[in-house]
Chains A and B, each alone.
Chain A
């Protein structure tokens, strides 16, 4: 990552509450163009909510989020050449009544078949374009969803635990695929995951959210492609340690007292 890249995504003092429950409070994040950021945290810590806020699927209770796109693009919202935000859900969310190709075309503003085929080829599923999604495996479905997300050449890709439901091998394949496409397409990616090693394997920067705050912002300075060596383990342990720390600080339940006293 280079220093002169401009800040791209600003999350400015974001707060979000659902009824009485404060999910996020005073969150500030600045993400640069082309950066790969992973957000980790326990389940229910608000990391998915943060991603949904960035995607515009939820409205923040306070603060604001701004994405700094090219001047001409931001002035003509909805124009053809506009680069956009795409979201990859935990489930593939393919339309079962559309063929694989038509599902990918859904993501393209001008519904161009050729572009859709190219996107499918990128994820290695060019030969499955006529199939119904119902007969694909979980990993293949998620690859089609990835093709759909990438077909419109987005500049910001938001991933909400997209690999959570896949088996270990498929997951590693998908991680490599995402990493390759990220490098090829100059994307900015925000990945939400509960899997610390996945975050370390993929991201330039790992943010840890705890009780609605950013508790840790760590740069992963490993070279790519990343090996799971001692450097890798170092980062992984540091983040895990921070994640579990809160538990350690709490006093252990009292050691059993003798039943009698003098």
Chain B
């Protein structure tokens, strides 16, 4: 792979939609993205009522839950294949009572966040350095691209040999997984800042530092936030796998432990917890986007 080529940043549809045209322009996916946006922003009756607007996202999960309850309570699906929602809820209460659940969630969350801080921080720094300096890009980019193409979860056997099942193993894997989306999108964001704005800053006498803080970083921010959102998803995914394979605490461990005793309710509860935590972190990222990208006409509509 030539060091010149910039891999397109990772964008899932939701993030792409939210970050708007600022991120997607000049990308090969421009036409698809812009048509998607155009169709998704047309107001229909459902979106105009504030109440319906609030409740609409909960509709589908609620329906799924009801369907699940119907299927399992009537015995269409056996209890040892899938527990009923009520059983899962009871397991939730039980584990909350013993304090086991809170402890496991705390362990998993702190692993996830510290891994994210390390990997994301490094990815951001390296993205900024490589985005600014052609020299550093030349030196490091082709190595980064090679490492990026290794599925980081394939390193699990190696990581277990290195670190055993200690905290380091999870931190390492999460950091590695989170690093690339943040790095790529930061790099891409900085490289695609409008040259005209930078030139304007120079003519208007901004110092080098002011050029970065007023123009280059804010200009790269939409892209960086897309990277962060994507990285948050990878963060949970990596952690789930790592905890399931090798851990002595955490949600994944709780699920694997429950498997030994065929506690289907606890297993399903763990899976649901991951879904909730993932949704929570995504909402937080979305909130950041809303706050920091208020200026973006695509986002400020409403």
Residues of chain A touching chain B, judged by Cβ–Cβ distance below 8 Å, are 55-57, 78, 84-87, 89, 91, 93, 95-98, 106-107, 109, 132-135, 148
A57-B199 in contact (CB<8A)? yes
B196 within 8 A of A: yes
Q: What 0/1 pattern do residues 192 to 221 of B give for CB contact below 8 A with A?
A: 001011011111111000000011001101
B296 within 8 A of A: yes
B203-A55 in contact (CB<8A)? yes
B199-A132 in contact (CB<8A)? no
**A109, chain B: closest CB distance, angstroms:** 7
B196-A93 in contact (CB<8A)? yes
Known: A95-B215, A132-B294. 5 other contacts (CB 8 A): A78-B205, A97-B218, A98-B295, A107-B204, A134-B296
Question: In this complex, what residue of A is CB-closest to B204?
Answer: A107
A95-B296 in contact (CB<8A)? no
**Complex: A52 Cα to B292 Cα, angstroms:** 34
Contact with B297, one of A78, A132, A148 (Cβ below 8 angstroms): A132
Residues of A within 8 A of B294 (CB): 132
Residues of B within 8 A of A109 (CB): 205
A97-B295 in contact (CB<8A)? yes
A106-B218 in contact (CB<8A)? no
Knowing A132-B295, A134-B297 are in contact, say whether A95-B197 is a contact too (CB < 8 A): yes
**Complex: A86 Cα to B205 Cα, angstroms:** 10
Contact with B200, one of A56, A93, A132, A134 (Cβ below 8 angstroms): A93
A106-B295 in contact (CB<8A)? no
Question: In this complex, what residue of A is CB-closest to B218?
Answer: A97
Knowing A93-B197, A95-B218 are in contact, say whether A87-B203 is a contact too (CB < 8 A): yes
**Complex: A95 Cα to B300 Cα, angstroms:** 16
**Complex: A47 Cα to B215 Cα, angstroms:** 28
Residues of B within 8 A of A57 (CB): 199, 202-203
A89-B204 in contact (CB<8A)? no
Residues of B in contact, count (CB < 8 Å): 23
Question: In this complex, what residue of B is CB-closest to A85?
Answer: B203
Residues of A within 8 A of B22 (CB): 96
Contact with B204, one of A91, A106, A134, A135 (Cβ below 8 angstroms): A106
Question: In this complex, what residue of B is CB-closest to A87?
Answer: B203
Knowing A55-B203, A93-B196 are in contact, say whether A106-B297 is a contact too (CB < 8 A): no
**Complex: A132 Cα to B201 Cα, angstroms:** 18
**Complex: A148 Cα to B214 Cα, angstroms:** 15
- A89, A95, A109 — which one has the most chain B CB atoms within 10 A of its CB? A95
**Complex: A98 Cα to B210 Cα, angstroms:** 14
Question: In this complex, what residue of A is CB-closest to B292?
Answer: A97
**A125, chain B: closest CB distance, angstroms:** 17
B296-A86 in contact (CB<8A)? no
**Complex: A89 Cα to B294 Cα, angstroms:** 25
**B214, chain A: closest CB distance, angstroms:** 7
**B253, chain A: closest CB distance, angstroms:** 44
**B302, chain A: closest CB distance, angstroms:** 14
B218-A132 in contact (CB<8A)? no
A86-B204 in contact (CB<8A)? yes
A96-B200 in contact (CB<8A)? no
Residues of B within 8 A of A87 (CB): 200, 203
A89-B200 in contact (CB<8A)? yes
A132-B300 in contact (CB<8A)? yes
Question: In this complex, what residue of B is CB-closest to A99?
Answer: B295
